[in-house]
Amino acid sequence: MGRSLEISFKDVSEMDMTVIDSGSLRNLCVDILIAEGFGQDVSTDIVDVLLEADLRGIPSHGVARLKRYIDERNAGHIKLNKTPSIEYETPLSAVVDGRGGPGQSVSKWAMNLAIEKAGNNLVGFVSVRNSNHYGITAYYSEMALEKDMIGIAMTNSYPLVVPTFGREAVLGTNPFSIAIPGSRHPFILDMATSVVTRGKLEVYDRLAKVIPEGWAVDSLGVDTNSPGEVLANFNNRRPGGILPLGGSGEEFGGHKGYGLSLLVDLVSAGLSFGSWSALTYREGVAGVCHFFGAMDLKLFGEPESMKQQIQSIIDGVVSSEKARGSEKIYYHGEKEELSRMYSLSKGVTLDPKTVRNLVALAERNNLQIPGQLLQ
């Protein structure tokens, strides 16, 4: 499990990349969605979340998704004339039917409901069924931070991940996020429960690189070094897929990653009576399920001193001695924040395909194309 196969993603991003200031990019994307009939509010919801991913250096969940969302609306997965409905409710919780609405709009609404309940009663949990892809998970967990609450968010997703000892991709990459406020900065864990995401396999495939053993299995459930084979199996709906965090078998804890992935499905789809990952994206229905939570720090004492206590733990870890060859131990959320600061000042970097798609979408809606995309 060495460092030999590390590929700097900068190597990819420096080829033919376009840089655009985030304000211009945001306006263009909102205008495109409005022109495509998404309406002002939904367009803003979607672009806010997608752009946040680009700012943080997570382009797989950024505005590159805009075209896919429009396609999914056209295919009927994303429904624009529906608002979420509460199907069951207690003072501390709710089950929400997203009614096929855009994942970002449904999820902001549901997370706000969790926060509102926690504001009244210290705790709020909301399970959601029948929604769509919602973008980066941390966007929602972080919404709780400004209220001095712990935020929780998770989602199931298109099936790409094989359980330990299995060969069928029945689980999603099923990410979850927990955000905890500190006195100087928060701790924001946001992780796919798989060892890697599909996007990373696509990067290796484009570069014609092999993937290390422990990332994915072929159609027999055996470790493979070929990202192209895994992606082809996805496209042809053959067995095989990405491994859970911890890799294949149990030697490196793959059963733990499998457990985390199944946990996300049980909580999001189980507690909402929705579709688990294997049943999402079938017969014109996305059916994605989420789970959101907010827990007020006042559950456990005075928030200001608790945030100092939390900060002291984070500080203790990151100030411990570094490994040979390493200069820094990061806390979770730090890399994303550093990237965000950089992007806000220097602009957002887009790959050529994303630029082409945005230009085409702008052209078909007779929108003015920012000069930065035409250079």
Residue 315 CB, shortest distance to a second copy, in Å, is: 10
Of 50, 314, 358, 373, the one binding a second copy (CB under 8 A) is 314
Q: List binders of a second copy among 119-138 (CB under 8 A).
A: 121-123, 125, 127
Q: Which CA distances in Å does 90 have to 129, 347, 353?
A: 17, 44, 46
Q: From the list 59, 100, 246, 370, which residue makes contact with a second copy (rule: CB under 8 A)?
A: 246
Q: Which amino acid is at 294?
A: A
Contacts of residue 28, defined as CB under 8 A and 6 or more positions apart, other chains included, come to 358, 362, 367, 369, 370, 373
Distances (CA, A) of 237 to 155, 168, 224, 232, 265: 22, 10, 17, 8, 21
Q: With binding defined as CB under 8 A, does residue 114 bind a second copy?
A: no
Phi, psi of 300 (to 5 degrees): -125, 5
**Looking at 101, 151, 214, 370, which residue binds a second copy (CB under 8 A)?**
214
Token pair 């798609």 is found at: 357
Distance from the Cα of residue 116 to its chain's centroid: 23
Q: Does 236 bind a second copy (CB under 8 A)?
A: no
Site string for a second copy, 278-307 (x = CB under 8 A): x----------------x-xxxxx---xx-
Interactions with a second copy, residue window 147-186 (CB under 8 A): 162-168, 170-171, 178, 180
For the CB of residue 295, give the shortest distance to a second copy in the complex, in Å: 7
- Say whether residue 331 binds a second copy (CB under 8 A): yes
Task: For a second copy, give the closer residue by CB, 25 or 297.
Answer: 297
User: Quick one: which of 208, 220, 374, 375 contacts a second copy (CB under 8 A)?
Assistant: 220
Give the residue from 135, 139, 172 showing the smallest Cα distance to 274: 172
333 Ramachandran zone, left/alpha/beta (phi>0; psi -120 to 50):
left
Name which of residues 82 to 101 contact a second copy (CB under 8 A).
88, 90, 92-93, 95
**How far apart (Å, rounded) are the C-alpha atoms in residues 348 and 326?**
27
Of 32 and 136, CB closest to a second copy: 136
Name the residue nearer to a second copy (CB basis): 31 or 334. 334
Query: Which residue lies nearer to a second copy by CB, 119 or 301?
Result: 301
332-361 positions binding a second copy, by CB under 8 A? 332
The residue (of 278 and 369) whose beta carbon lies closer to a second copy is 278
| Pair 18, 350: CB distance under 8 Å | yes
Distance CA 297, CA 123 (A): 10
Task: Evaluate whether 114 touches 90 at the Cβ level (below 8 Å).
Answer: no
The total of other beta-carbon atoms located within 10 Å of residue 167's CB is 18
For a second copy, what does the binding mask look like between residues 3 and 42, x meaning CB under 8 A? x-xx------------------------------------
Quote the least distance from Cβ 179 to a second copy, whole Å. 11
Ramachandran bin of 287, using left for φ above 0, alpha for ψ from -120 to 50, beta for the remaining angles = left
Please tell me the distance from the alpha carbon of residue 138 to that of residue 335, in angstroms, as a whole number. 13
249, 359, 367, 372: which one contacts a second copy (CB under 8 A)? 249
Total binding residues toward a second copy, as defined by CB under 8 A: 93
Is residue 188 within a helix (H) or strand (E), and if so which, with residue range? strand 187-191
Contact positions with a second copy (CB under 8 A) in 40-79: none
User: Residue length, the chain?
Assistant: 375
Q: Is 322 in the site for a second copy (CB under 8 A)?
A: yes
Region near a second copy per CB under 8 A, out of 8-16, 73-81, 314-322, 346-354: 314-322
Is residue 330 part of the contact set for a second copy (CB under 8 A)?
Answer: yes
**Does residue number 239 form part of the binding site for a second copy (CB under 8 A)?**
yes
Place of tokens 């429904």: 79
